Structure 1
């Protein structure tokens, strides 16, 4: 072979090799750092996380319900004697509202406080907007609602409930999120429901519905965002606003449900949160009476009352809709009862511990967590067999909140 042909052959082979190298992905130099992969014990989602309010110590426990275990504790949250929590839309962050007016943002994955602000003198709860950008705090003192940026907790605006004629501001209760970045809430002294459009959170617009009844003490939004219902402390009845037909205004429902019976002393106000609706019926705790009031959700008229062991605090339906679980005020706060929805009969009575303040279902309802304030623990029960699964120690626990709430309306 001639020298010219040999040179041409080598040149052709080099071109082919270079083409092959160009088609092969580049290999990073040895000095390029590899992306670290967290160990399996650290890498996790947020879908099974939650928190337990420890009211006596100003702390929360971060827990998970897949293995029914506690992951850690976050301290420094102030007065949690009456506290509530909502979650960011991705479930990573919890916003805790404390009695001392504190609003605290917690990272559930790293278990640290991201930011904390004292935004009022006395606060009992709040909500988060549909798009997750706005956190709203309801205040007892000085009244009103404040809107905050969910990322930074920057104050965006404030809606005052001050009556210019009297100079006093109503306590705000029953704050609930609604579709379209709206919120509904009730005014205790003024006897009113207000609906706030926070599409522009720096300039929210408010529609007022006055004269709904005496002393609304709590409220709830339905899970489809259609109804807002306020319970009345000053009289037996509730006030209902149909948000699909707001032009109809607020109407009274279940008037005089305690007729013929003298009300008992009220040691703890019932809570309407939980929206116990199943099979076309709504279940409401009666104030000052040992019963759960059942209403038809088409007519909103009373169907019956289910006699129970004491004055109900929470009446919450399990995720499958089959049963309504009820806990009670003192002196029956060691008791939990379960109502069967099809028969409206109490099918189970339990005495799990002293001071059952709150309970929370796992997302699919296979278990329920009960806070036992007076015995410093949380009990986890199988909801089908009513058998206790495990016990977790906790310091004077009250509210239990799981991250499934991030995807629900009205909570």
Structure 2
């Protein structure tokens, strides 16, 4: 049995935990009975490591090392929530076993990757790549390559190019949807069923200038891409793809002077609450509110900086907003009914990510330059625990295994 060092201290009423560097190994876990529903991974971006954490106990179970460049990393989970697939910036796809707390598979599949997704049936893991531009699809069990989809397109001068791919999500029907930044397109990749010899099908749509990230609505119907090259968003209705891509919220920044963009919003952090979408505005200190019935702009909520993540608690009661440099040391909480900022929190230096526990009683917040993760009670909005971490960034709980578009 591995040693877990537990340091209890009174720091603003919080508990403080520290991780051990000693690996338990698969044999040490063999006689333990453990579920995965309250587990998760925290990315330690500077050291190429991840922490296996327990949300119920607010504790760090183990540090797993050797995952390469995690400076822009994300995680998806297998259907049984046992395995995490970690997408590294160096093109690494790493399969982590949360029960044995070890790496069970790793491939370097490109030169520069930017995230990924797992299919609805859990059989395929897709990776979105900057270099070379395109998407690669792997068998989730073996990590064998299943499909290689280069993001080739024709430039305005007639030459062939290969685009960076962004905004990769899974969609119902065993589909993957992603955007081509350089080509200004959205592609839908329909993965085959179990019929022998069937091949993936690819459909292309024109999407506007420089889509930089995207999200899919919780019902899996609407894929929405933010556009870096214009004030507006592109939306594809996956129930009616014959209609093509339509523009929504056109000119949302019209008449306002855009500010320098220090960090692009992460649109998978968009949120839907009370029939409205809450969206980070590019180049503005605003959260946009759109009516989802017709996607018209309802309101612009002023916030203290340029929003990066705009996330609703699972009950949709409050909206939590993080920010880009230089005002990235705070979180602001918005009441979803009044659409007013009700609290400004200070978790630490360089806040990078938030993640709600599955039923929303707590939210975990990473502060990269403070080397800690702070846990907040979502009812009182007060901190209840702190965990030591080495330059933490993304926080990913296994509840994601049962959600679309994550």
For normalisation by structure 1, the TM-score amounts to 0.89
**Which residue does 1:85 correspond to in 2?**
75
Please point out which of 60, 76, 82 is paired with 2:66: 76
Aligned match of 1:342: 337
* Structure 2 counterpart of 1:208, from 204, 207, 230: 204
Question: Are residues 1:56 and 2:49 paired?
Answer: no
The residue that corresponds to 2:18 in the other structure is: none
Q: What secondary structure, in the 3-state scheme, does the structure 1 residue paired with 2:162 have?
A: coil
Residue 148 (structure 1) aligned with residue 138 (structure 2): yes
Q: What pairs with 1:88-237 in structure 2 (closer than 5 Å)?
A: 88-163=78-153, 165-200=158-193, 203-210=199-206, 212-237=207-232
Q: Kindly indicate whether the alpha-carbon contact (under 8 Å) linking 1:180 and 1:199 is maintained by their aligned counterparts in 2.
A: no
Give the aligned partner of residue 245 of structure 1. Answer: 240
Instruction: Give, in angstroms, the shift of residue 139 of structure 1.
Output: 0.3
Partner Cα distance (1:220, 1:83) in 2: 17
Maintained 8 Å contact 2:270/2:280: no
Mapping of residues 343-358 of structure 1, within 5 Å: 343-358=338-353
Using the alignment, how far apart are the partners of 2:395 and 2:83 within structure 1?
15
Runs of 4+ with >4 A deviation: 38-41
Aligned to 1:163, the other structure's residue is in SS state strand
- 1:383 to partner: Cα distance: 0.7
Q: Give yes or no for contact 1:237–1:254 (8 Å, CA) kept in 2.
A: yes
TM-score, normalised on structure 2? 0.90
2-structure distance, mates of 1:300, 1:223 = 15
Describe the SS at the equivalent of 2:153.
coil
- SS at 1:273's partner residue? helix
Q: 1:39 Cα deviation (Å)?
A: 9.0
Which region of structure 1 is more displaced relative to structure 2, 343-352 or 122-131? 343-352
Deviation at 1:40, TM superposition (A): 11
Give 1:167 shift.
3.0
Q: Judge conservation of contact 2:29–2:100 (CA < 8 Å) in 1.
A: no
Contact kept, 8 Å, 2:355 with 2:364, in 1: the verdict is: yes
Could you tell me how far apart the structure 2 residues matched to 1:133 and 1:228 are?
22
Q: Cα RMSD (Å) of the superposition? A: 1.4
Question: SS where residue 305 of structure 2 aligns?
Answer: coil
**Equivalence map 1:24-43=2 (5 Å):** 42-43=32-33
Residue aligned with 1:72, SS? strand
| Higher RCO (C-alpha 8 Å, min separation 6) | 2
In structure 1, distance between residues paired with 2:347 and 2:108: 36
Deviation at 1:186, TM superposition (A): 0.3
Q: What is the CA–CA distance in structure 1 between the aligned matches of 2:100 and 2:269, rounded to whole Å?
A: 29
The 3 A distance-change label for structure 1 pair 40 and 155 is closer
Q: Report the structure number with the largest CA radius of gyration.
A: 1
